Amino acid sequence: MKWLGKVDVDTITLAILAGAETMHAGSAFMPSGFTVKTLAIDGNAQEIERKLCNLRSGYRPAVVFGLGLSTLVSILAKSTLPLIVSAAAAVYMLTQYESFVPPDLRLNTEQIIQVLLSGQGEPSNPNLLGGMTIG
């Protein structure tokens, strides 16, 4: 696996720490799953959609911070393993976060990517929402 660069115990340890820090960034920029389950789903439909939009606005800074930090770690370690582990942690984190949202309001993978690219709490292409509106 030459493309990974050098892989030794130190590199594996750094990769695990980079992945964990990506998860920590998620908790810094986004509320807990408990908060989403209990507080975000209270109110009328428009209020719930607004709350979810606000909650999802933390996706981008969390992922950018985690991947940015792991990129620096990868450069210092001369291995892509920390970046790969961090990217996997980010995907897991966003998947788990969406699982706390009521099923009819969950975003699919394409919509999550749109949220990440737009930097807002809703996909930049409203056609991706189907019948659902956010805002």
Q: Convert the pLDDT of each residue in 19-30 to its tens digit.
A: 999 999 998 998
74 inside domain: yes
Q: How far apart are CA 9 and CA 66, in angstroms?
A: 21
Average pLDDT of 83-112?
Answer: 90
Looking at the structure of the chain, the number of domains it has is 1
pLDDT over threshold 60, residue 107? yes
How is 58-72 classified by DSSP, letter by letter? THHHHHHHHHHHHHH
134 inside domain: no
24 inside domain: yes
135 inside domain: no
33 inside domain: yes
122 inside domain: yes
Residue 45: its pLDDT value, please? Answer: 79
Domain that holds residue 118: 6-129
Higher local confidence (pLDDT), 131 or 52? 52
1 inside domain: no
Q: What percent of the chain shows pLDDT beyond 70?
A: 84
109 inside domain: yes
Query: What is the DSSP code (8-state) at residue 55?
Result: H
Tokens for 89, please give them: 């942690």
Average pLDDT of 32-59?
Answer: 82
Task: Give which of 8, 13, 14, 1 is closest to 75, Cα–Cα.
Answer: 14
